[in-house]
Structures are given as structure tokens and as C-alpha cells.
């Protein structure tokens, strides 16, 4: 059985190591998971060719999450509400079903329920849409900020949350931008005093500047590796029907 992760770039992804460890822990012999680097212009053609190549499904990361939903023949309610998909499952005759495990994965990773709290989501891509949807559905009051204001307002209008012109104080800060992915010193916010829990979807060796600063300040911190594990666990359960071995996945993701 073949699975993989579609992205551009995708060389940094730790999903192959994480899922390979999960297959071993579950005794799934012959299952393989690989990186699938695909530029945007080749995404649709590549995805449609995967079932014939023996793939049962695939994860989807930046910048393809919205395109993945548009390509699907069917989709979960979450994926449709969010407008983006990160998990594809291939059915008979090459049909494509889209799910979004980013949303429940984020909630799984939070140290406490977000209901009744305020949240600031940074970004306006597929991951930001998932975060805003999940937090809002869980009862948080959600604001969204993006450097391109029009994208933040479009997201807010679609999901019934609020767009703001700059970083505002919140109980929960969620970074869904790529800031920190390439530059270890880059951070999307300069001051963490207005925030409580800090969530950074970016992961890199040694941690991001945002996550490291949050930990140094004593703030509850969820890093990109834990988010990766939680959304990956949800995807694995969709594909296999088995409970995901979180500890094995977490250890493999940390080791790279």
C-alpha cells in the first residue's frame, strides 16, 4: 500500500518518518509513505495519476490544500466548510475523497479547550482556514490577520470570523504563515506579552524563534511537530481504520 505527502517544497517534511513508524507499530507490512514534490501547475495531473500507481491516499501541504479540495469528487463537511483539504483518499475507479484533519488535529493538540477564549490566527491559506474554522466551531472568538488584508477579509467573510489589520491581543496565538520555515530567526510577532497559549504550525530543527521565545517566556506552547503528529494521526486513522500510535509517531517526527 502506497501513501505520500504532496507539497512544493516538501523536502523538509517529516511525515514519511512518522508514518513509517506508525506502520511498524501497527504491524502494517508492505505499507510505504513517501515525499511527492509537485509544483502547482502539475498538481491536478499528478494527483489523478496516483491511484493507478498504487496509492491509496495522500496528505497535502503548502501550497496545494485549496487545489486538493477543488479536485476532489467528494469531501467531508469540515473540508467543504474550510475550503481546503489536507488528506485525500482514493476509491474505486480513481475517485478522490477529501478530508481536512488540520482542524481536529489542532484542537487535539491544544492544552485546554478553546471555548470562550479569544484567538488570533496569522495567515490566510489552507492551514489558517482550518485553524479559524476549528477554533470558531469550538466556541472561541476568532480574529484573523494576514499581510494581504484582502485575503484575511475573504477568509473572515467565508467562515464568520473577524479580520484585523494587525496583530491583536488574544488568549491563543496560532501562526499559520510560513514565517520561520527558512529563517530560524524570523518570527511573525515581535512581542508575546499580549498572548497566552502560542501555537506555531511551522516546524524546523531546533524549533522556530516563535516557539522558542514562547517557551522561554513560560507560555503554554504547541509546536509544529505536535500539530503534525495530531493531524497525521487523524489521516492515518482514515486510511487504516486503526487507532494511531501517537507515541511512536511523535518520537519519529522528533527524530526526523
Closest among 139, 146, 142, 138 to 118, alpha carbons compared? 142
- 43 vs 16, 29, 57, 66, 84, CA distance in Å? 19, 29, 14, 11, 15
Indicate the helix (H) or strand (E) that contains 163.
strand 162-163
CB 176 within 8 A of CB 200: no
Q: Are 247 and 26 contacting, i.e. CB atoms less than 8 angstroms apart?
A: no
Is residue 132 classed as helix, strand or coil in its secondary structure? helix
Concerning whether 65 is annotated as a catalytic residue, the answer is yes
Q: What is the distance between the alpha carbons of residues 254 and 223, in angstroms, rounded to a whole number? A: 11
Choosing from 65, 97, 204, 250, which is the catalytic residue?
65
Positions annotated as catalytic residues are: 65
Amino acid at each position: 500500500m502506497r501513501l505520500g505527502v504532496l507539497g512544493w517544497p516538501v523536502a523538509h517534511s517529516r511525515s514519511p518518518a512518522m508514518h513509517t513508524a506508525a506502520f511498524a507499530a501497527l504491524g502494517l507490512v508492505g505499507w510505504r509513505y513517501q515525499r511527492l514534490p509537485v509544483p502547482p501547475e502539475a498538481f491536478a495531473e499528478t494527483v489523478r495519476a496516483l491511484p493507478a500507481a498504487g496509492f491509496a491516499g495522500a496528505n497535502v501541504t503548502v501550497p496545494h490544500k485549496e487545489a486538493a479540495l477543488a479536485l476532489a469528487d467528494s469531501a467531508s463537511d469540515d473540508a467543504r466548510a474550510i475550503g481546503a483539504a489536507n488528506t485525500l483518499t482514493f476509491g474505486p475507479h480513481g475517485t478522490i475523497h477529501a478530508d481536512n484533519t488540520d482542524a481536529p488535529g489542532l484542537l487535539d493538540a491544544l492544552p485546554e479547550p478553546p471555548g470562550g477564549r479569544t484567538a488570533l490566527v496569522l495567515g490566510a491559506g489552507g492551514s489558517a482556514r482550518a485553524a479559524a474554522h476549528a477554533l470558531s466551531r469550538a466556541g472561541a472568538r476568532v480574529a484573523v490577520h494576514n499581510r494581504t488584508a484582502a485575503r484575511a477579509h475573504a477568509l473572515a467573510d467565508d467562515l464568520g470570523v473577524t479580520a484585523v489589520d494587525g496583530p491583536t491581543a488574544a488568549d491563543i496565538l496560532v501562526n499559520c504563515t510560513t514565517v520561520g520555515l527558512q529563517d530560524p530567526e524570523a518570527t511573525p510577532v515581535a512581542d508575546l506579552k499580549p498572548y497566552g497559549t502560542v501555537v506555531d504550525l511551522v516546524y524546523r530543527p531546533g524549533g522556530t524563534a516563535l516557539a522558542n521565545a514562547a517557551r522561554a517566556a513560560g507560555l503554554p506552547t504547541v509546536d509544529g511537530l505536535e500539530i503534525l503528529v495530531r493531524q497525521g494521526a487523524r489521516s492515518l486513522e482514515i486510511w487504516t481504520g486503526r487507532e494511531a500510535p501517537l507515541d511512536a509517531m511523535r518520537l519519529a517526527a522528533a527524530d526526523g
